[in-house]
Amino acid sequence: MQIAKVTDLKDNTQLSTAQLVVSSPGVAIKAFKKMAMNIDTIKSVVFDEADSVLGEEHSEHCMKLVDMMKEKKIQFIAFTATVTENLLQFFESNFQNLYNKLTVPLKDLSLDGIKHLCILVNKDQKINVLDTMYKAMTVGQCIIFVNTKKFCYTIKMHLEKLGRSCSVLTGQLDKSERDKVIKDFENGISKVLITTNIIARG
């Protein structure tokens, strides 16, 4: 299978032959308008991390995408770990009752051997709590998710002062750099991987 990952349309040579195209809704719309992709050949549209994609930031583009394709009998699929009102409203307003909703029971979401712990703290207390957790627990390797690139490096500097081997994974790194960071973590060279949600998005 030929896959094209498109972040802009400067190089769209793969689009005409790709069987799977990965892009943001906005880039997909531009590709259709510039005839870089043939909308008549599309069979399915998949919204991954749908609760985020259909949020305020991308919802307008998603609506345009659906409007362009709604009459062409294209299958729309949404994957999400969090079912939000925005998501349900999107499908209800666009497809009314012509969609299927498959959900996983709450009791099946927790895996055996994994414990979930939630500690509510202010942002300026997070590093102190992290220190306490390291002192109270034996941590071999771990992944720390944060919501900004800046905070990634703040935590990295703090943990390295404590002698921890850390690496950072953000969207600022190119693909080869991201691959090296992940490989170093897999091989145990780095004990702590600090990342934004790019690791979940690929």
Residue 65 near residue 29 (C-beta atoms within 8 A): yes
Place of tokens 């600022």: 172
CATH number of 3-95: 3.40.50.300
Query: In this predicted structure, what is the pLDDT of residue 202?
Result: 47
Q: 3-state secondary structure string, 46-88?
A: EECCHHHHCCCCCHHHHHHHHHHHHHHCCEEEECCCCCCHHHH
CA 91 to chain centre: 20
According to DSSP, residue 12 is labeled: -
Query: In this predicted structure, what is the pLDDT of residue 109?
Result: 67
Query: In this predicted structure, what is the pLDDT of residue 15?
Result: 76
Helix (H) or strand (E) holding 155: helix 149-161
Domain boundaries, the chain: 3-95, 117-201
- Say which CATH architecture domain 117-201 belongs to: 3-Layer(aba) Sandwich (3.40)
Query: In this predicted structure, what is the pLDDT of residue 58?
Result: 60
Query: In this predicted structure, what is the pLDDT of residue 1?
Result: 74
Asked if 3-95 and 117-201 have one fold, the answer is: yes
Query: In this predicted structure, what is the pLDDT of residue 12?
Result: 67
pTM of the model: 0.54
Q: Would you give per-residue pLDDT tens digits along the chain (202 residues)?
A: 787 777 767 666 777 778 888 888 888 888 888 888 888 888 888 888 787 777 665 677 878 888 888 778 888 888 887 777 777 777 777 777 677 888 777 777 666 666 777 888 888 888 888 888 877 777 778 888 888 888 889 888 888 888 888 899 887 888 888 889 988 888 888 888 998 866 554 4
Q: 163: alpha, beta or left, given left = phi > 0 and alpha = psi -120 to 50?
A: left
